[in-house]
Chain A
Amino acid sequence: MTSEYTKEPKGYTMSTVMQEAARCLLCEDAPCSKACPAHTNPAKFIRSVRFRNVKGAAETIRENNTLGAICARVCPTERYCESACTRAKIDGPIDIGGIQRYVTDMERKENMQILHPGKDNGMSVAIIGSGPAGLQAATTLRQKGYAVDIYEKQAKAGGYLTYGIPEYRLPEAIVDYEVQRIVNLGAKIHYNVAVGTDVTMDQLKQEHDAVIVAIGASAAKTIPMFEHNICTESAISFLSRAKENQGKIDVPDNVLVIGGGDVAMDVVTTLKKLGVPHVTDVVYEEFAEFKASKKELAGAQAAGVTIIDGYAPQEVHQNRVTFKHRKINGELTITTDKIILAVGQKVDATGLDIDIQHNEIPFRDARYHTKDPQVFAAGDIVDGDKTVVFAVQKGKEVAEEIDRVLGGQNND
């Protein structure tokens, strides 16, 4: 059954992608492109596919989004480009993510090298964290001619992309491919280096003209009653174990998951793909207010997960959890082999001397600035959506802000 976990759904072929591209109405001032947070410009790349210019389509995607192949797979497009698609008024939106995946798959097969480093401008930037925001910032800065050093505390780059998103949604090979492109642009990645422990923030500030903190929210939130429960594991710990072992981990017959976001959906669907017969997900929100993307929710339901909405946990005794409905009189007790908590993540900025409140840097008029003029922030610790595509945009924007502050563009 583990093969289900590593099996990515089939992508388009040249002829089926053309069928989908031919459905596109090729709108004036296309709403889909305006709805992409990273300005990936789907209207332009779909038009390129329609006119059989797949290489041009790849250029459009790549020049706007260094993680184009990843976003193609994991972006909750229903919230962004596809929610704006005019074709939905006839039947359904264009499968923009699917077309993007086809184009980036072709780019990989053709070994296209689209992005190039800018002329060296003599300045350098340190980036803490190699998640989506850090990788995009590195790309944009390399294009502008900055030297880039990425400090990653883990053994692999990608952050949540590598350690969180399950293999069936985002194969590790795709992340490796995207990271390699950025390394090829000249970004140096220092693995297994924790800033604050192995190297200090002051050292980075001395060695670089600017520092970007793009650490994401990598620590699991918990609920006090579960803190010392031996049956409980955090979602990110579970997902990371599954991914690192390519699904070859031991799982019990009966798992209770608590949480209703996209991470919870990844957990429950992964459990089913690993062959767990009984997966029960209890969710605080009712269906109408669900946080998870419809696509991931539908995937979980199709996989056979039991989802119970509107209940909050009241007490836990080892492997027995009692919930109460938030609005109606109702109680639910579940005895399980294992409990997985998917109730959000928080920022762990230990040793970085950066001001974090409620998991974000405080709002400032000059976005991406921290209290230290030499230190910038990007990714999930900056206000805004916590999705890969938003992280990409924040990575681009922080790079542009640094370029503005350091005057690198004068060297262009």
Chain B
Amino acid sequence: MINKDLSVDFLGVHFENPFCLSSSPVGNCYEMCARAFDAGWGGIVYKTISTDRFVIDEVSPRFDELTKEDTPFVAFKNMEQLSEHTLAQDLADMKRLKTEYPNKVLIASIMGENDEEWTYLAKKVEEAGADMIEMNLSCPQMTSHKMGSDVGTNPELCKQDCIAVKKGSSLPLMAKMTPNITTMVPVVKACLEGGADGFSLINTVKSVANVDLDKHVGLPNIDGKSSVSGLSGKGVKPIALRFLQQLRSASGLEQLPISGIGGIETWEDAAEFILMGATTLQVTTAIMQYGYRIVEDMKNGLMHYMEEQGVDHLSDLVGLANKNIIATNKLNRNYKVYPEIDWDKCIGCGRCFISCQDGAHQALGWDDEKRLPTFDKSKCVGCQLCALVCPVGAIKLGIVEMKPGREGNPDEIDVSSQRLHTYHPAQSN
């Protein structure tokens, strides 16, 4: 079995691997966290703690899922807030974890309602032995408007809170960002001014995932009512990656230290977050669905990916994709690439034809007798929708042509796309 060094250094802390539990139900007590460490996770962001003054009182049930066809957990909606234990209990659990797992990373997630609380909590978790602090500025289902994602959209409040935390502790400080905002940049810059060292993103996306069609209430149904709350899981990955890109492409934030969160469940998801600028990674939803064991394939798969990429350190991969995501008006619009149908693979289902007719530019026609698509190059715009819908991967990127009157050498244009052709479903045949 392959064995490569997956360790990373992040905000001055050494992680044996970048995979961490995110602050959530999956890291809610000593016993759970111990099992997660035993399963191979490199770090844990212990479920957010607050002062005993703020009483956590949860609803039941508290989850919902978005499905598609027969796929569960396309996205996941969660209404849980913070740790329900007493502060003393959580601090004792953290202390025990750090004692028993000295080489693992323990990150304390905290949330205060005012400066004094932030300072107090920061001091307490440092005393308990945490390696790092994560400020929860982004939980979208808090019952107090002075806490959670409402705070996380306000740069001034965030800066003030960071200052308060730094007053209580000298530990490295991450601020956890809400995606329920158009641009994260002002908040991040304010947090940096307040003393934050790095950022974890994204927290969950405010959502109503499903509506009960008989009772006319959102789900989960809590005694006839429901609330907007956070969405997570695979479905939010594209939103998360967009925010990573927004930050790492902002002026002055190019090297921003990020702990990536949002729908990570495979090594490929993990690699994507790393390429988009994350140094460590945090996971909850996939664990809630499949358990701590998923880290095995994430670690092993990532090692194989490093081997394929020819790198010995994950840090060599961090942010490599950021420079290749540019403004839409900077893209090369001088050429188009036509589809090329592999007639040996084509099974004649006609899905490319249907999608081209109804979703693209009517370049693909249909031969009723042969039950095969026909191609009218003059109408093709090279969008490649056909290649995406083909169930057997029979459509490849073919001839590249410069648009009339445009400069350029078609042979020098890079149109290869691994995602489209290597990982396409049913590609194996």
State whether the Cβ of A175 lies closer than 8 Å to any Cβ in chain B: no
Contact with A along B365-382 (1 / 0, CB 8 A): 010100100000000000
Binds A, one of B31-39, B50-58, B111-119, B349-357: B349-357
**A396 vs chain B, min Cβ distance (A):** 25
Q: In the docked arrangement, what's the CA distance between A19 and B353, Å?
A: 24
Q: A86-B348, A90-B391, A90-B429 are in contact. Are A28 and B354 (CB under 8 A)?
A: yes
Q: Is the CB of B69 within 8 A of A90?
A: no
Cα A50 to Cα B347 with chains together (Å): 21
Picked from B351, B426, B429, the residue with its CB within 8 Å of the CB of A27 is B351
The answer to whether B347 and A86 touch across the interface, beta carbons within 8 angstroms, is yes
Q: Which residues of A contact B349 (CB under 8 A)?
A: 25-28, 86
A-B pairs under 8 A by CB, number? 42
Q: Are A25 and B391 touching (Cβ within 8 A)? A: yes
B368 nearest CB neighbor, chain A only: A29
- Tell me if A354 counts as interface (CB < 8 A to partner B): no
Answer whether residue A22 sits at the interface, using C-beta atoms and an 8 A cutoff: yes
The one of B351, B368, B371, B426 in contact with A26, judged by C-beta atoms closer than 8 angstroms, is B351
Give B68's nearest chain A residue, CB to CB. Answer: A22
Q: Does A89 contact B (CB under 8 A)?
A: yes
Determine whether B363 belongs to the interface, using a CB cutoff of 8 Å to chain A: no
**Which residues on the B side are within 8 Å of A21 (C-beta)?**
69
Question: Does residue B411 face the partner (Cβ distance < 8 Å to A)?
Answer: no
Q: Please tell me if B341 contacts chain A, counting CB pairs below 8 Å.
A: no
The docked-state distance in angstroms from the alpha carbon of A27 to that of B351 is 6
Chain A residues contacting B392 (CB-CB under 8 Å) are: 90
What's the least CB distance linking B278 to chain A, in Å?
32
In whole angstroms, how far apart are the Cα atoms of A15 and B67 in the complex?
Answer: 11
B351 near A90 with CB under 8 A, answer: no
Q: Does A31 contact B (CB under 8 A)?
A: yes
* A75, CB-defined interface residue at 8 Å: no
Q: Are A27 and B350 in contact (CB under 8 A)?
A: yes
A268 to B92, CA, bound (A): 71
B70 close to A90 (CB less than 8 A) = no
Task: Give B90 Cβ to nearest chain A Cβ, in Å.
Answer: 38
| Cα separation A18 to B347 with both chains bound (whole Å) | 23
The distance in angstroms between the C-alpha atoms of A22 and B70, with both chains bound, is 7
Give per-residue flags for A118-159: 1 if the beta carbon is below 8 A from chain B beta carbons, else 0: 000000000000000000000000000000000000000000
Within 8 A of B (CB), among A10-39: 15-16, 18-19, 21-22, 25-29, 31
Cα A50 to Cα B70 with chains together (Å): 9
B-chain residues with CB within 8 Å of residue A15 when the two chains form the complex: 70
Report whether A19 and B70 are in contact in the complex, using a CB–CB cutoff of 8 Å. yes
Residues of B with C-beta under 8 A to A18: 69-70
CA distance A123 to B392 in the complex (A): 55
A14 to chain B, nearest CB (A): 9
Q: Give every chain B residue within 8 A of A22 (Cβ-Cβ).
A: 69-70
Complex CA gap A19/B71 in Å reads 9
Interface centre among B350, B392, B429 (most CB of A within 10 A): B350
**Alpha-carbon gap, A28 to B373, bound state (A):** 10
| B366 surroundings in chain A (CB, below 8 A) | 28-29
Q: How far in angstroms is the closest Cβ of chain A from B220?
A: 19
Docked Cα-Cα span, A182 to B262, in Å, equals 55
Contact with B along A383-406 (1 / 0, CB 8 A): 000000000000000000000000
What separation, in Å, do the CA atoms of A18 and B72 have in the docked complex?
12
Contact with A along B322-357 (1 / 0, CB 8 A): 000000000000000000000000011111011000
CA distance A256 to B348 in the complex (A): 47
How far does the alpha carbon of A31 sit from the alpha carbon of B349 in the complex, in Å? 9
A90's partner among B368, B371, B426 (CB-CB below 8 A) is B426
* Residues on the A chain within 8 Å of B371, using CB: 29, 31
- Number of B residues near A (Cβ < 8 Å) is 16
What residues of B have a CB within 8 angstroms of the CB of A90 in the complex? 347, 391-392, 426, 429
Contacts of B350 in A (CB 8 A): 27-29
* B352 CB → nearest A CB, Å: 9
Distance in Å: Cβ of A81 to nearest Cβ of chain B: 15
- A50 touching B69, Cβ below 8 Å: yes
Nearest-CB distance from B181 to chain A (Å)?
Answer: 34
How close is A282's CB to chain B, nearest CB, in angstroms?
A: 41
A42-67 contacts to B, CB under 8 A, are 50
C-alpha gap A181/B278 in the complex (Å): 63
Chain B's closest residue to A31 (CB) is B371
Give the Cβ gap from B343 to chain A, nearest Cβ, in Å: 13
A244 to B347, CA, bound (A): 47
Complex Cα gap A16–B391 (Å)? 20
Chain A residues near B426 (CB-CB < 8 A): 90
Q: Which one of B69, B354, B368, B371 has the highest number of Cβ atoms from chain A below 10 Å of its Cβ?
A: B69
When distances are taken between beta carbons in the complex, the residues of chain B under 8 Å from A27 are: 348-351
Interface bits A363-388 vs B (CB < 8 Å: 1, else 0): 00000000000000000000000000
Q: Which residues of B contact A31 (CB under 8 A)?
A: 371
* Complex CA distance for A153 and B368, rounded to whole angstroms: 48
A156-B70 Cα distance, complex, nearest whole Å:
41
| Most chain A CB atoms below 10 A, which of B70, B347, B368, B391 | B70
Q: Taking the nearest CB of chain A, how far is it from the CB of B65, in angstroms?
A: 13
Name which residue of chain A comes closest to B429, CB basis: A90
Interface-centre pick from A25, A26, A28, A86 (highest chain B CB count, 10 A):
A28
Q: Are B347 and A89 in contact (CB under 8 A)?
A: yes
Distance between Cα atoms of A21 and B68 in the complex (Å): 12
Enumerate chain A residues within 8 angstroms of B354, measured Cβ to Cβ: 26, 28
Chain A residue at minimum C-beta to C-beta distance from B347: A89
Which chain A positions have C-beta within 8 A of B347?
25, 86, 89-90
Q: Are the CB atoms of A28 and B69 closer together than 8 Å? A: no
Task: Report B66 CB to chain A, min CB distance, Å.
Answer: 13
Identify which of B353, B391, B392, B429 gathers the most chain A CB atoms within 10 Å of its CB: B391
B127 to chain A, nearest CB (A): 49
Q: Which residues of A contact B368 (CB under 8 A)?
A: 29
> A26's closest neighbor in chain B, by CB?
B351
How many Å from the CB of A148 to the closest CB on chain B? 38
Known contacts A18-B70, A19-B70, A90-B391; A28/B429 CB under 8 A: no
CA distance A29 to B371 in the complex (A): 9
Chain A contacts with B in 273-321, Cβ cutoff 8 A: none
Residues of A within 8 A of B351 (CB): 25-28
Contact partners of A26 in chain B: CB under 8 A: 349, 351, 354
| Cα(A21)–Cα(B71), bound, Å | 12
Tell me how far the C-beta of A324 lies from the nearest C-beta in chain B, rounded to whole angstroms: 46
A28 touches B70 (CB 8 A): no
Given the complex of chains A and B, what is the CA–CA distance between A113 and B351 in angstroms? 34
Bound-state Cα–Cα, A26 to B347, Å:
13
Of residues 375 to 429 in B, which have CB atoms within 8 Å of A's CB atoms? Answer: 391-392, 426, 429
C-alpha gap A15/B65 in the complex (Å): 14
| Shortest Cβ distance from A17 into B: residue | B70
Give the CA-CA distance A100 to B414 in the complex, in Å: 48
| C-alpha spacing A181/B300, complex, angstroms | 59
Return chain A residues, CB-CB under 8 Å to B70. 15-16, 18-19, 22
Point out the residues of chain A lying under 8 angstroms from B429, CB to CB.
90
Determine how close the nearest CB of chain B comes to the CB of A236; give it in whole angstroms.
41
| Complex alpha-carbon distance, A123 and B130, angstroms | 89
Q: A22-B70, A90-B392, A90-B429 given. 6 additional CB < 8 A pairs?
A: A19-B69, A25-B351, A27-B348, A28-B353, A28-B366, A86-B348
Would you list 12 pairs from A and B whose C-beta atoms are within 8 A, ordered by A residue?
A16-B70, A19-B70, A25-B351, A27-B348, A27-B349, A28-B353, A28-B354, A28-B366, A29-B371, A31-B371, A89-B347, A90-B347
Query: Top 4 closest A-B pairs, CB basis?
Result: A28-B350, A89-B347, A22-B69, A18-B70
